[in-house]
């Protein structure tokens, strides 16, 4: 009699092998059933996460929309940790879809390259349908996951890894140039396409002669990301700050690319086909940024309690003297920080000038409710930072027109014992994608700026 526990373990192992293996062939039935089942499971999971944290209904149209427009409308109402929860929840589903599509492509066509079309918006649904229809080839050629990671000489492995790194750097520079000059976008092509390209090429080249361990493949791919980052720095395309902010995202996505590259090596894919396919397919990712240009407006709110009544706080809100506190270390790295504020005139229509380390903000007053509320638009603004670089002048395009402050506001709320709750709000747009990641950094930076201003106003008012 067969032990039911062993039987269940066998079923679980079989499904885990189907989903997460790097080489196990995938039949039409397996691809169809697994694809639709996991898609439904992913939608239900995201629906529950969004509904439980925001109370919003997550429509199926937002889930299926490859342009992410409707999904962004939902995400902008979330607290900061929820997009990260969604990202972590999505990652295994993303790997299963790519891995099974690559292996299904091998089983149906003999080539792994078509499986990468699963990464391209709009084409992904078409490729899913095609893979569900195409019959299996008789004997798809695959190495097995149990192939020993030996045989290749250390010198050959090192040489292959170095070649992969140089190929990935060259390809990344091409994608970077396309995104900045042709598509004029800091988006999916740079922040998703480049790490995937680096991970796939370095890992594939490292494994093409003999399948190496997954851990070694990931390490080689991460070294490729570091070398590519250093190249952008040495060529004065980017500075330290932006590379440092990008690296956590790129490092995670590169792991996905490394797994794909190792999987493609296991299918005996041609190195030339892998490189050409990636260079042709990844620019299609930019279509999502070009078609969908709508950018949500985000609000950052900060507050401080002042031991003074609103009447004493108000004069220091409309204009304040030079900040005597030295800038914190993170401002010394190049992030713009406030120095002083002046105002020309009084009442609605007065022009407020807030001087930053990189230049002035010009802020026409739109609400003058003394001593309760001061609101203003932003008609001119300086760059958000001075890039930290070994060169004297580095000015990447994203410093101009990508982070746009729209308006600001101070609110003074009277508290007992002659105290005031002073709140500051800034509304801004950020035209870099994925916004759920980049707004973590921009929100933090704006909050630190608020904190510097509010603490200075508090000090002036209490004195």
Report how far residue 411's alpha carbon sits from residue 375's, in angstroms, rounded to the nearest whole number. 8
| Sequence ranges of the domains in the chain | 13-138, 143-292, 297-462
Stretch 103-117: mean pLDDT: 77
Stretch 192-199: mean pLDDT: 87
Residue 148 pLDDT:
44
Q: pLDDT of 197-245, one tens digit each? A: 899 889 988 988 888 888 899 999 999 999 999 999 888 888 888 899 9
- Is residue 219 a contact partner of residue 207, using CB atoms and an 8 Å limit? no
Q: What are phi and psi of 328, to 5 degrees?
A: -65, 165
Report how far residue 259's alpha carbon sits from residue 257's, in angstroms, rounded to the nearest whole number. 5
Residue 384 burial by CB count (10 A; 0-12/13-18/19+): exposed, middle or buried? Answer: buried
Report how far residue 27's alpha carbon sits from residue 135's, in angstroms, rounded to the nearest whole number. 8
Q: Domain 297-462 is of which CATH architecture?
A: 2-Layer Sandwich (3.30)
Task: Name the nearest CA neighbour of 131 among 214, 196, 34, 227.
Answer: 34
3-class secondary structure, 92: helix
Stretch 147-162: mean pLDDT: 66
Task: Give the pLDDT band (50/70/90) at residue 105.
Answer: confident
Task: Give the pLDDT band (50/70/90) at residue 150.
Answer: very low
Report how far residue 407's alpha carbon sits from residue 387's, in angstroms, rounded to the nearest whole number. 25
368's enclosing H/E stretch is strand 359-369
Task: Give the pLDDT band (50/70/90) at residue 463.
Answer: confident
- Of 217 and 10, the structure prediction assigns the larger pLDDT to 217
What is the share, in percent, of the chain residues with pLDDT greater than 70? Answer: 82
Q: Which residues contact 169 (CB under 8 A, 6 or more apart)?
A: 198, 224, 227, 228, 231
Q: pLDDT of 302-317, one tens digit each? A: 999 999 999 999 999 9
Which of 75-79, 185-189, 309-313, 437-441 reaches the highest mean pLDDT?
A: 309-313
Q: Which residues contact 95 (CB under 8 A, 6 or more apart)?
A: 20, 256, 259
- Flag whether pLDDT at 106 surpasses 70: yes
Task: Name the nearest CA neighbour of 19 among 4, 9, 31, 7.
Answer: 31
Stretch 412-434: mean pLDDT: 92
DSSP code for 373: E
Q: Which residues contact 207 (CB under 8 A, 6 or more apart)?
A: 217, 261, 262, 265, 266
Residue 78 pLDDT:
58
3-class secondary structure, 79: coil
- Flag whether pLDDT at 260 surpasses 90: no
Chain centroid to CA 410: 31
- Flag whether pLDDT at 442 surpasses 50: yes
Max CA-CA distance within the chain?
92
Residue 81 pLDDT:
64
- Flag whether pLDDT at 145 surpasses 50: no
Q: pLDDT of 36-80, one tens digit each? A: 888 899 889 888 888 887 777 888 877 877 655 556 666 655 555
- Flag whether pLDDT at 152 surpasses 60: no
- Is residue 85 a contact partner of residue 49, using CB atoms and an 8 Å limit? yes
- Of 414 and 174, the structure prediction assigns the larger pLDDT to 414
Stretch 21-49: mean pLDDT: 86
Q: Quote the pTM value.
A: 0.74
- Flag whether pLDDT at 1 surpasses 50: no
Mean pLDDT of the chain: 81
DSSP code for 112: S
- Flag whether pLDDT at 447 surpasses 90: yes
- Flag whether pLDDT at 291 surpasses 60: no
The dihedral through the CA atoms of 384, 386, 388, 390 has a sign that is: positive
> Which of 307-338 are b and which e, b meaning 16 or more Cβ less than 10 Å from the residue's Cβ?
ebbbebbbebbbebeebeeeeeeebebbbbbb
DSSP code for 76: T
Q: Around Cβ 6, how many Cβ atoms within 10 Å?
A: 9
Task: Name the nearest CA neighbour of 168 among 284, 287, 241, 274.
Answer: 274
Report how far residue 29's alpha carbon sits from residue 32's, in angstroms, rounded to the nearest whole number. 5
Q: Around Cβ 421, how many Cβ atoms within 10 Å?
A: 15
Task: Name the nearest CA neighbour of 289 among 437, 439, 396, 182.
Answer: 182
Instruction: Render 306-346 in DSSP notation, one character per residue.
Output: ESS-HHHHHHHHH-B----SPPPHHHHTTB--EEEEEEESS
- Is residue 209 a contact partner of residue 160, using CB atoms and an 8 Å limit? yes
Stretch 264-285: mean pLDDT: 58
Which of 154-158, 287-291, 351-355 reaches the highest mean pLDDT?
A: 351-355
- Flag whether pLDDT at 390 surpasses 60: yes
- Is residue 382 a contact partner of residue 354, using CB atoms and an 8 Å limit? no
- Flag whether pLDDT at 451 surpasses 70: yes
């Amino acid at each position: 009699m067969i032990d039911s526990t062993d039987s269940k373990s066998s079923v679980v192992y079989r499904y885990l092998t189907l989903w997460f293996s790097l080489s196990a062939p995938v039949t039409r039935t397996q691809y169809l059933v697994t694809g639709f089942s996991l898609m439904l499971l992913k939608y239900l999971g995201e629906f529950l996460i969004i509904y439980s944290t925001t109370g919003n209904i997550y429509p199926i149209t937002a889930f299926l929309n490859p342009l992410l427009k409707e999904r962004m409308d939902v995400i902008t109402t979330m607290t900061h940790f929820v997009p990260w929860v969604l990202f972590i929840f999505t990652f295994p589903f993303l790997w299963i879809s790519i891995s099974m599509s690559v292996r299904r492509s091998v089983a149906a066509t003999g080539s792994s390259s078509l499986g990468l079309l699963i990464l391209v918006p709009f084409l992904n649904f078409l490729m899913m349908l095609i893979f569900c229809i195409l019959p299996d080839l008789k004997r798809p050629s695959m190495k097995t996951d149990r192939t020993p990671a030996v045989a290749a000489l250390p010198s050959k492995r090192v040489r292959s890894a170095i070649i992969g790194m140089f190929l990935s750097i060259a390809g990344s520079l091409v994608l970077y140039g396309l995104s900045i000059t042709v598509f004029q976008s800091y988006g999916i092509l740079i922040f998703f396409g480049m790490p995937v390209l680096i991970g796939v090429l370095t890992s594939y080249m490292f494994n093409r002669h003999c399948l190496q361990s997954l851990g070694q493949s990931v390490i080689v791919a991460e070294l490729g990301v570091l070398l590519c980052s250093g190249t952008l720095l040495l060529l004065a395309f980017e500075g330290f700050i932006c590379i440092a902010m990008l690296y956590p995202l790129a490092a995670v996505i590169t792991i996905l690319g490394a797994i794909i590259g190792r999987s493609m090596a296991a299918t005996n894919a041609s190195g030339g086909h892998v490189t050409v396919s990636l260079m042709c397919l990844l620019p299609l990712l930019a279509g999502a940024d070009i078609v969908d240009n709508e950018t949500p407006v985000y609000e950052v709110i900060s507050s401080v309690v002042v031991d003074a009544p609103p009447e004493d706080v108000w004069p220091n809100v409309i204009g304040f003297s030079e900040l005597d506190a030295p800038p914190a270390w993170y401002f010394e790295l190049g992030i713009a920080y406030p120095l002083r504020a002046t105002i020309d005139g009084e009442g609605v229509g007065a022009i407020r000038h807030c001087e930053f380390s990189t230049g002035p903000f010009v802020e026409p007053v739109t609400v003058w409710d003394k001593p309760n509320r001061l609101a203003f638009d932003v008609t001119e603004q300086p760059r958000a930072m001075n890039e930290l670089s070994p060169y004297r002048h580095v000015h990447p395009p994203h410093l101009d027109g990508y982070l746009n402050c729209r308006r600001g506001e101070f609110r003074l709320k009277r508290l007992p014992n002659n105290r005031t709750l002073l709140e500051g709000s800034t509304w801004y747009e950020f035209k870099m994608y994925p916004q759920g990641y980049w707004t973590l950094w921009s929100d933090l930076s704006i909050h630190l700026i608020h904190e510097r201003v509010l603490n200075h106003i508090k000090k002036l008012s209490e004195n």
